[in-house]
Amino acid sequence: MTFDVDRIRKDFPAVGEGIAYFDGPGGTQVPRQVAEAIARTMTSGISNRGTVTASERRAEDVVAGARQAVADLLGCDPGGVVFGRSMSQLTYDVSRALAKEWGPDDEVVVTRLDHDGNIRPWVHAAEAARARVRWLGFDRETAELGVDDIRAELSPRTKLVAVTGASNVLGTRPDITAIAEAVHEVGTLLYVDGVHLTPHAPVDVAALGADFYACSPYKFFGPHHGVVVAARELLERIQPDKLLPASDEVPERFELGTLPYELLAGTTAAIDYIAGLASDAGDRRTRVLESMRAVEEYEDALFERLLEGLRAIDGVTLYGNPARRTPTAFFSVAGRENREVYEHLAAAGVNAPASSFYAIEASRWLGLGDGGAVRAGLAPYTSADDVERLLAGVAEVAK
């Protein structure tokens, strides 16, 4: 089965309305199948989790189904899948739980390439524990993050390294496997922000070597909540704050309050949808991997055209040029405020916002202050025509 963008676009009611959506890195559009699964869960008789009534068992099944779906998406143990409100909230929770064991002699490493969701929780946790934060920059020309630079920050004092699987503005995909090797050599933990990587590449958490891997289903066709996964044995060693009557089991003890069952059903539907993007044979994990390889190939080819087109427009500055990247362009136009470009494109039905997109350290590091630049990100529903519309809009505003 091949990747057929026309077929895919028909599943997205919003895409049919004529807008070219390049704001997927902020949250993708949603296919009908996901919205229907959410509605079905809310109208089919659902109670709080339990084992006596059918509606209680339905809630149990929804949770178990979503853990298995995430395991199939990321190649991890369903027993190590933790759900929460957002990646940011989960990362704060994990950081505070881990920092209970940190002290003034300890260090954490964060990078300026990361979204603030994988920086500030660690900075705040380190502050509370009086531990030291070591900051890592990236190459301002290429936007590459050097493995050796990370290695240079490591020591027996390092408690954790937080690094992104892919930059949500520059697209850089650091070599996580090599970073994990370096991190594990000093016997410490690696927390990978997979929010921007997961929608664009096949992911195998074990092969990456991530001890924690966080992602957000709303970036890959699902509803708004967050996920963090880790090996069960690792989660067993961590004691988060929790309510007294709440389960002390793993992963439940990390999940504060009642889970959003309808959203979890939506996430299962989103992963089923991904599995069917370009594959119809084999188990769900196999289909996910095959489909995500096809997504990567499709997006890479389209992104080549986008980059080539942007480079050909006088006055456009593109930030970063990493060798391995997601299809995400970050750019500005000479003589124009980023906001003007954003508004001009919006008036032409092209959604490509301007911001730092919470990668505020990266924006500052690049000399862009807190304002960032214009971002255009591809999604599996992006068509070649969408790309031409974006390029025409940028060319017009650059005149």
Ligand X SMILES: Cc1ncc(COP(=O)(O)O)c(C=O)c1O
Q: Which residues bind ligand X (CB under 6 A)?
A: 25-26, 86-88, 115, 117-118, 164, 168, 193, 195-196, 216, 226, 358
Q: Which residue, 219 or 389, is less far from ligand X as judged by CB?
A: 219
Give yes or no for a contact between 8 and 278, defined as CB atoms under 8 angstroms apart.
no
Q: Which residue, 3 or 221, is less far from ligand X as judged by CB?
A: 221
Give yes or no for a contact between 162 and 114, defined as CB atoms under 8 angstroms apart.
yes
Distance of CA 194 to the CA centre of its chain: 4
- Rg from Cα positions in the chain: 21
Q: Which residue, 65 or 117, is less far from ligand X as judged by CB?
A: 117
331: amino acid identity, one letter? F
**Minimum distance, C-beta of residue 115 to ligand X, in the bound complex (Å):** 3
Query: Cα angle vertex 306, ends 301, 307, to 5°?
Result: 95
Q: Which residue, 85 or 151, is less far from ligand X as judged by CB?
A: 85
**Minimum distance, C-beta of residue 219 to ligand X, in the bound complex (Å):** 7
Q: Which residue, 118 or 267, is less far from ligand X as judged by CB?
A: 118
**Minimum distance, C-beta of residue 361 to ligand X, in the bound complex (Å):** 12
Question: What are the two backbone dihedrals, phi and then psi, of residue 356, each rounded to the nearest 5 degrees?
Answer: -90, -10
**Minimum distance, C-beta of residue 45 to ligand X, in the bound complex (Å):** 30
DSSP code per residue over 61-120: HHHHHHHHHHHHHHTS-GGGEEEES-HHHHHHHHHHHHHTT--TT-EEEEETTS-GGGTH
Give yes or no for a contact between 131 and 159, defined as CB atoms under 8 angstroms apart.
yes
Q: Which residue, 172 or 332, is less far from ligand X as judged by CB?
A: 172
**Minimum distance, C-beta of residue 29 to ligand X, in the bound complex (Å):** 15
**Minimum distance, C-beta of residue 304 to ligand X, in the bound complex (Å):** 23
Q: Which residue, 41 or 216, is less far from ligand X as judged by CB?
A: 216
**Minimum distance, C-beta of residue 130 to ligand X, in the bound complex (Å):** 26
Q: Which residue, 164 or 267, is less far from ligand X as judged by CB?
A: 164
Paired with 280 in beta bridges are: none
Q: Which residue, 88 or 268, is less far from ligand X as judged by CB?
A: 88
**Minimum distance, C-beta of residue 56 to ligand X, in the bound complex (Å):** 29
Question: What are the two backbone dihedrals, phi and then psi, of residue 62, each rounded to the nearest 5 degrees?
Answer: -60, -45
**Minimum distance, C-beta of residue 199 to ligand X, in the bound complex (Å):** 10
Rounded Cα gap, residues 228 and 83, in angstroms: 7
**Minimum distance, C-beta of residue 251 to ligand X, in the bound complex (Å):** 17
Rounded Cα gap, residues 164 and 178, in angstroms: 13
Q: Which residue, 3 or 92, is less far from ligand X as judged by CB?
A: 92
Q: In the chain, which ranges are continuous DSSP H helix?
A: 5-10, 32-43, 54-74, 87-99, 120-129, 147-153, 176-185, 205-208, 232-236, 261-275, 284-311, 338-347, 360-365, 384-398
List Cβ neighbours of 337 (8 Å cut-off, separation of 6 or more): none
Count of C-beta atoms within a 10 Å radius of residue 257: 10
Return the exposure string of 231-251: e unless at least 16 CB atoms fall within 10 Å of the residue's CB, then b: beeebeeeebebeeeeeeebb
